[in-house]
């Protein structure tokens, strides 16, 4: 019965799901890396904030801290970032989704329509009973206390379903331990729901509100909240879509929050916080790549540098501000420095005029090339600054590094989603162009996302193609490999080419799938290189339908330095004879294997289905198999694969 269902599913998959698919992350490596770095996690239940903070309470998540600041928040479930929010109030926001403080999906997450409680964003205790400046006095509802915040569904993530929700609640009674002479009983905190909104896509949200972020103003008038230990908490309920294949199940239901502000003497009209701010992070100074090999840059620097930059600047005040904008390019550990000044310009209020469109500010030219040298690598610090010159003291600064190492990268190093193809036999090709040609392709780096089930650890053929009229042509390199993951989190894994490959002009890096499963390659939604992504599921190369960048980085140039070697899977290529075959096949053990261990031979078709399994005895009979291509694996007693090969069966 299971085989029949599988065949029916595959038939449907071939007709309805022959495509590229983008899914959310099942694990967030950025959060995982930060948690490992801190080696500690704040705990909501322990109430570690023993000293309540005083008003005002404000956070705009401008600093790239990954976790919310423990100066204001007591948990690490939400994710501070610049990747997911779209047109935030200012640079950065905090995201709630279905991934916990460990960077993994919550263990209670199950496929289907049932919602489950996911992220929390919980404030420290706040003194809402008193203020202490200019003089100490008690607070009452007459002090007009308001909590305000901006929110957005989806962003660059996955939209919350209609059944999903973002909610806000206030603490009524803190948790406590009831201690008697014979027992200790823990009493949970009591909360009161204050506000909620249902899930929707960002497009629907914009149609309803005509803006990408919406501000909510909540008055606090109930006297039960005017206490020494006031606390508020945002949280979300999430539902996962059903999926016939576990490799496609993923994170979803993102909500972005910005500028959370609690204070007295406010009103429903107190929606304004004057600032002149950058909205998006610093762009790459390169036209095409976020990073590239320095020798490839120096061979044609004029063609590689951007002509202009795209900078979003907002004046979130109700009055004009005469301001200056500029940027500097400075070599790290060097003396080279270049300045650009956009002069002065009167920035008008965003609420009436939108973002700054003045070209010297919004689209500044790139007038200087990075200095050329014989070095193999270089790093430059880019600093953008905007500030009012009318005495208002408003302004903002942002920085980024422009790196030139030995690899090409379209991505920014942070996966926002997972990319995959289906069905088996699908081809993916990522285009790269050389300036200094020919060059030596020595390795390819991939960042695959870890998944809950591990169903993405499937064999695929790493392939390199040359170019013919803008499409992949001849296969220059092919190797059967599987997704691997770095020991250090949020890092690429290097697949060394053996031997290194000579490439010229334009080449393509990618894969051929052997199963229907999503390989779940890291996908950067922030940087868009869609035109360089090609896929082939039906015999024709097509350009990707998704805006973003694949996390694939070819390494070219001189031999890769030794020292800290990349871990490589010890998987040998099996020697099979004859191949093609129609009957009995001889399989030789790799030289590195132990002759005393018991091994298992398995054969898989290109749909990833196991068609043969038996204890290794030197030979197998394939006369009962249909014609086609099969993958042969040799596994030891620990189920570790030690050898693979491709076998062609003919008649």
Kind of pairing between the strands at 417-422 and 19-23: antiparallel
The residue written with tokens 């290194």 in the block is 500
In-domain check, residue 269: no
Q: Of all helices (H) and strands (E), which one includes residue 477?
A: strand 471-481
At 361 the pLDDT is 98
Kind of pairing between the strands at 641-649 and 572-573: parallel
Q: What is the dihedral of CA 8, 11, 15, 17, to 10 degrees?
A: 80
15 pLDDT above the threshold of 50 = no
Do the beta carbons of residue 484 and residue 478 sit within 8 Å? no
**250 or 205, which is more confident:** 205
Q: Are residues 76 and 146 in the same domain?
A: yes
Q: How many CA atoms lie within 13 A of 385 on its CB side?
A: 13
Q: Are residues 123 and 232 in the same domain?
A: yes
Cα–Cα nearest to 606, from 636, 583, 628, 623: 628
Q: Find the mean pLDDT for residues 207-234.
A: 96
Per-residue pLDDT reduced to its tens digit, 438-478: 999 999 999 988 765 666 778 899 999 999 999 999 999 99
169 pLDDT above the threshold of 50 = yes
Cα–Cα nearest to 649, from 601, 589, 578: 578
Q: Find the mean pLDDT for residues 41-54.
A: 61
Q: Are residues 397 and 431 in the same domain?
A: no
In Å, how far from its chain's centre is CA 154?
Answer: 14
Q: Are residues 62 and 86 in the same domain?
A: yes
14 pLDDT above the threshold of 50 = no
At 449 the pLDDT is 80
User: Before 423, cis peptide (omega within 30)?
Assistant: yes
Q: Find the mean pLDDT for residues 352-375.
A: 95
640 pLDDT above the threshold of 80 = no
Q: What is the mean pLDDT of the chain?
A: 85
Supply the range of the domain harboring residue 146. 41-172+198-263
Q: Are residues 216 and 249 in the same domain?
A: yes
In-domain check, residue 24: no
Q: Are residues 396 and 477 in the same domain?
A: no
* Domain CATH for 603: 2.60.40.10
Q: How many domains does the chain have?
A: 4
d(CA 133, CA 145): 16
- Dihedral sign (CA 295, 298, 301, 305): positive
Per-residue pLDDT reduced to its tens digit, 257-292: 999 999 999 999 999 999 999 999 999 999 999 999
Q: Are residues 535 and 588 in the same domain?
A: no
Kind of pairing between the strands at 542-543 and 533-536: antiparallel
66 pLDDT above the threshold of 70 = yes
Q: Are residues 259 and 121 in the same domain?
A: yes
* Domain CATH for 448: 2.60.120
At 600 the pLDDT is 87
Pick the most confident of 3-12, 74-83, 181-190, 529-538: 529-538
In-domain check, residue 336: yes
Tell me the whole-structure pTM to 2 decimals.
0.77
* Domain CATH for 251: 2.60.120.260
At 18 the pLDDT is 57
Q: In angstroms, what is the C-alpha Rg of the chain?
A: 28
482 pLDDT above the threshold of 80 = yes
In-domain check, residue 20: no
d(CA 85, CA 642): 44
d(CA 77, CA 96): 7
Cα–Cα nearest to 619, from 573, 558, 578: 578
276-285, 287-296, 429-438, 482-491: least confident range? 482-491
Q: How many CA atoms lie within 13 A of 27 on its CB side?
A: 22
In-domain check, residue 183: no
In-domain check, residue 350: yes
d(CA 573, CA 647): 12
126 pLDDT above the threshold of 90 = yes
Burial-class residue 189 by CB neighbours within 10 Å (0-12, 13-18, 19+).
middle
Do the beta carbons of residue 45 and residue 177 sit within 8 Å? no
Dmax (CA) for the chain in angstroms is 94
d(CA 481, CA 519): 12
343 pLDDT above the threshold of 80 = yes
In-domain check, residue 283: no
In-domain check, residue 134: yes
Do the beta carbons of residue 91 and residue 281 sit within 8 Å? yes
d(CA 339, CA 327): 6
Share of the chain above pLDDT 90, in %: 57
The two tokens of residue 489 are 């989190």
């Amino acid at each position: 019965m299971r085989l029949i269902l599988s065949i029916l599913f595959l038939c449907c998959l071939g007709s309805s799901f022959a495509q590229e698919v983008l899914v959310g992350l099942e694990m967030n490596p950025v959060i995982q890396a930060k948690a490992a770095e801190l080696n500690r996690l704040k705990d909501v239940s322990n109430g570690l904030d023993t000293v309540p903070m005083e008003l005002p309470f404000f956070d705009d998540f401008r600093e790239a801290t990954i976790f919310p600041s423990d100066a204001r928040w007591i948990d690490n479930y939400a994710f501070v970032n610049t990747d997911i929010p779209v047109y935030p109030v200012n640079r950065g926001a905090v995201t709630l989704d279905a991934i916990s403080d460990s960077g993994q999906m919550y263990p209670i997450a199950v496929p289907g329509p049932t919602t489950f409680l996911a992220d929390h964003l919980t404030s420290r205790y706040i003194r809402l009973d008193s203020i202490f400046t200019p003089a100490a006095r008690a607070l009452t509802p007459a002090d007009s206390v308001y909590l305000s915040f901006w929110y957005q569904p989806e962003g660059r993530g996955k939209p919350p379903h209609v059944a999903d929700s973002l909610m806000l609640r206030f603490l009524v009674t803190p948790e406590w331990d009831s201690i008697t002479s014979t027992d200790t009983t823990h009493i949970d905190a009591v909360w009161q729901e204050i506000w909620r909104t249902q899930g929707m896509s960002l497009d629907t949200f914009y149609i309803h509100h005509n803006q990408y972020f919406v501000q909510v103003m909540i008055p606090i008038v109930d006297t039960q909240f005017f206490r020494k230990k006031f606390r508020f908490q945002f949280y979300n309920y999430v539902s996962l879509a059903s999926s016939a294949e576990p490799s496609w199940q993923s994170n979803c239901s993102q909500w972005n929050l910005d500028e959370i502000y609690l204070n007295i003497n406010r009103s429903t009209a107190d929606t304004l916080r004057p600032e002149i701010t950058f909205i998006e992070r610093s762009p790459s100074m390169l036209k095409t790549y976020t990073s590239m090999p320095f020798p490839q840059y120096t061979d044609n620097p004029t063609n590689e540098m951007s002509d202009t930059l795209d900078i979003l600047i907002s004046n979130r005040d109700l009055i004009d501000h005469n301001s200056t904008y500029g940027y500097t390019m400075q070599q790290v550990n060097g003396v080279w420095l270049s300045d650009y000044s956009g002069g002065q310009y009167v920035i008008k209020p965003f609420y009436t005029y939108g973002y700054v469109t003045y070209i010297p500010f919004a689209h500044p030219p790139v007038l200087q090339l990075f200095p050329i040298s014989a070095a193999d690598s270089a790093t430059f610090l880019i600093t953008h600054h905007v500030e009012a010159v009318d005495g208002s003291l408003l302004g903002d600064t942002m920085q980024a590094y422009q790196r030139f190492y030995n690899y090409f990268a379209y991505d920014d190093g942070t996966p926002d989603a997972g990319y995959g193809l289906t069905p088996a036999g699908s081809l993916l090709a990522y285009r790269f162009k050389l300036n200094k040609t020919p060059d030596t392709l020595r390795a390819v780096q991939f960042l695959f996302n870890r998944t809950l089930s591990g169903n993405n650890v499937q064999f695929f053929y790493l392939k390199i193609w040359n170019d013919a009229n803008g499409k992949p042509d001849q296969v220059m390199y092919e190797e059967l490999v599987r997704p691997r993951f770095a020991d250090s989190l949020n890092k690429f894994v290097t697949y060394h080419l053996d031997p290194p490959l000579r490439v010229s002009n334009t080449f393509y890096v990618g894969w051929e799938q052997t199963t229907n499963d999503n390989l779940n390659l890291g996908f950067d939604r922030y940087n868009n290189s869609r035109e360089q992504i090609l896929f082939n599921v039906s015999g024709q190369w097509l350009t990707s339908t998704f805006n973003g960048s694949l996390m694939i980085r070819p390494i070219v140039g001189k031999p890769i330095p030794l020292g800290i070697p990349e871990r490589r899977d010890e998987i040998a290529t099996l020697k099979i004879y004859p191949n093609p075959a129609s009957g009995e096949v001889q399989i030789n053990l790799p030289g590195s294997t132990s002759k005393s261990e018991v091994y298992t031979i398995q054969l898989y078709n290109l749909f990833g289905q196991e068609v043969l399994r038996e204890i290794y005895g030197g030979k197998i009979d394939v006369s009962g198999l249909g014609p086609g291509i099969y993958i042969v694996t040799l596994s030891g007693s620990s189920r570790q694969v030690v050898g693979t090969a491709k076998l062609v069966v003919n008649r």
